[in-house]
Amino acid sequence: MNTIEVFLESKKVRPTAMRMLVYKYMTQSNVAKTLGDIENAFTKADRTTLYRTLKTFEEKGIVHQVDDGTGTIKYALCEAGCNCDIDRDLHLHFHCSNCRETICLTEHKIPQINLPDGYVAEDMNLVVKGICEHCSGQ
Amino acid sequence: MNTIEVFLESKKVRPTAMRMLVYKYMTQSNVAKTLGDIENAFTKADRTTLYRTLKTFEEKGIVHQVDDGTGTIKYALCEAGCNCDIDRDLHLHFHCSNCRETICLTEHKIPQINLPDGYVAEDMNLVVKGICEHCSGQ
DNA sequence: CAATAAATGCACTTCTATTGCATGGCTACT
DNA sequence: AGTAGCCATGCAATAGAAGTGCATTTATTG
Ligand SMILES: [Mn+2]
Ligand SMILES: [Mn+2]
Ligand SMILES: [Zn+2]
Ligand SMILES: [Zn+2]
């Protein structure tokens, strides 16, 4: 029983070999990954299985989708204690137009937005595009 | 010379029949439209022509794309005097999960976001999802 | 009017998301 | 241990939208 196995079971996800590999892969970098990225990271991986793995992870609160405006959905690990709650957990995402990577800025929560009367907010997405720390040569 | 014709020429866009129709259609509602929406609004319209029409409109500052996270790009008219400037013009978009419509809240600019050192912002997208004024029964 | 440039229409490609269905493997229960 | 049933996997196929190539039509210019 390694820690990944324990973690997945704590999230009510059966720790199959592929699921453990995907989870481990996601922990190894802090940038959001597309399905294609993950597929390419393994030589022998079926796209559908990965698709459903990510879907399961999302349903069980292990990952969240990141829509960075590139047209392909990305996935990133949720923080410990995250419930993808609109007030507590939603954070800024940054997409670098140079290296094309997207990272979670989990420390930067989405500021309070006031809406016109009658509008009810349920979810939110804030993406900033530009040049990342790495590419701006800092 | 009607007003649409004059307007398009002022934007350096040749006022063809289709372009005038599309522009007129866009002015008739304040919700963002997909290519498909526009295609369906006319009985005899070619998707490619519309696609390129919208692209031209975008390049000439007549419309802006709206990425509301549904997976299909939408288009909405720019305000008078809009330059799609990151500080002055970028505004909030609201997507209603009930009626599935997306509207520009042009009065609601995106608040100042502070980024970690080394990050440079060039563009931004803020979408709020929830229930719109109309659907919340106000 | 002829030459040129721009806009349009059709067909096709590409890319990603998503589903149906058959098979393999694990679990729970006897 | 044996077996029924559920869950995960893999393959194939579909759906949906974006984008491109090229031929044709329409507009502009001299
Ligand atoms: Mn994130
Ligand atoms: Mn808008
Ligand atoms: Zn970068
Ligand atoms: Zn609505």
For residue range A123-133, what is the model confidence (pLDDT) as tens digits? 999 999 999 99
For residue range B84-118, what is the model confidence (pLDDT) as tens digits? 888 888 999 999 999 999 999 999 999 999 999 99
Residue with tokens 């970098």: A29
Residue B126 has pLDDT above 80, yes or no: yes
Angle between helices A17-27 and A3-10 (to 10 degrees): 100
Quote the CA–CA distance of B6 and B82 in Å, as a whole number. Answer: 18
Quote the CA–CA distance of B30 and B107 in Å, as a whole number. Answer: 13
* Partner-chain contact B125 A129, CB within 8 Å: yes
Among partner residues A107, A119, A128, which is closest to B121 by beta-carbon distance?
A: A128
Q: What is the CATH number of domain B3-136?
A: 1.10.10.10
Q: Which ligand is nearest to the CA of A30?
A: 1
Residue of B124, B99, B86 lying closest to B29 (CA atoms): B99
Label residue B94 exposed, middle or buried (CB < 10 Å: 0-12, 13-18, 19+).
buried
* Partner-chain contact A129 B123, CB within 8 Å: yes
Quote the CA–CA distance of A89 and A82 in Å, as a whole number. Answer: 6
Residue A91 has pLDDT above 90, yes or no: yes
Query: What average pLDDT does this structure show over A69-96?
Result: 93
Give A121's contacts in chain B (Cβ within 8 Å). 128-130
Residue with tokens 């999960």: B97
**Domain residue limits, chain A:** 3-136
Contact B102, B133 (CB under 8 A): no
For residue range B44-90, what is the model confidence (pLDDT) as tens digits? 899 999 999 999 999 999 999 999 999 999 999 999 988 888 888 89
pLDDT score, position B32: 98
